[in-house]
Amino acid sequence: MIKRDVMIYTRYERFWHWSQAVLIFTLFFTGLGIHGTHSMLKFGQAVTLHTYAAYALMGLWVFTTFWNFTTGQWRQYLFKKGILKVIRFYAYGILVGEPHPYKKSLQRKQNALQSLAYMTFMVIIGPALWLTGLLYLFYNAWAGQPWSGDALWLVAVLHTVAAFAMGTFVIIHIYMTTTGKTPLHYVKTMITGYDKVELSEVEEAYLAETKTVDMR
């Protein structure tokens, strides 16, 4: 096996990642302002910015879902074997210098724990935020219903819970970026797109011949 610097994250994946990060931080910041946690923005400004950022993020997610299915990248998020080994590594092995049980490849960019986390994010947390956010935003359309008062309270609670679940995901995600070869290794990878991947002689020859993936 030969280790080569291979572009495993395309330009769109990197654009998606960083633009999503900016929008999520914007939503969290403005959401805290709407709740009165800080007064750095006026209430009306916070609501407007929160709404526009939410629309932008929903649009990004819809397009990215389409991109994932048309490119076959959705397979990266399917459940993988070995999740208990990965959990054990992050709970204990990383503290005593054990090698990571997962090796990155072109076919498997994420380990089993990452795949499960991203799938939860995209299938549960994201849709929960969309649905409750849209119900909240268009409350006037159903405000005349006799149950609207109780329903609005439930929608607000669920939206807040989903938002904090997303915040928790982001915090853990940021921490995990520091567990590479260096604290900024994974950040650099997501900026440049390149990471070291073990390739067989056949894989190396195929990539060099077809140029389907950039390699250096």
Distance CA 79, CA 202 (A): 27
Q: Compute the half-sphere exposure of residue 180: CA atoms within 13 Å on the CB side of its CA.
A: 16
Which tokens is 174 given? 């940021």
What residues form DSSP beta bridges with 194?
7
Give the pLDDT band (50/70/90) at residue 168.
Answer: very high
> Over the stretch 178-194, which tens digit does the pLDDT of each residue have?
988 888 999 999 999 99
Give the pLDDT band (50/70/90) at residue 47.
Answer: very high
Give the pLDDT band (50/70/90) at residue 130.
Answer: very high
pLDDT at 206 over 80: no
Domains of the chain: 1-208 (1.20.950.20)
Distance CA 196, CA 202 (A): 17
Q: Sign of torsion, CA 53 183 117 171?
A: negative
pLDDT at 139 over 80: yes
CA 179 to chain centre: 17
pLDDT reported for residue 27:
96
pLDDT reported for residue 25:
96
The secondary element (H helix, E strand) that includes residue 196 is strand 194-199
pLDDT reported for residue 8:
87
pTM for the complete prediction? 0.87
pLDDT reported for residue 103:
78
Average pLDDT over residues 158-176: 92
Q: Compute the half-sphere exposure of residue 77: CA atoms within 13 Å on the CB side of its CA.
A: 13
Q: Compute the half-sphere exposure of residue 132: CA atoms within 13 Å on the CB side of its CA.
A: 19
Contact 3, 187 (CB under 8 A): no
pLDDT reported for residue 212:
76
Percentage above 70 pLDDT, the chain: 100
Distance CA 76, CA 16 (A): 15
Identify the residue with better confidence: 208 or 28: 28
pLDDT reported for residue 19:
97
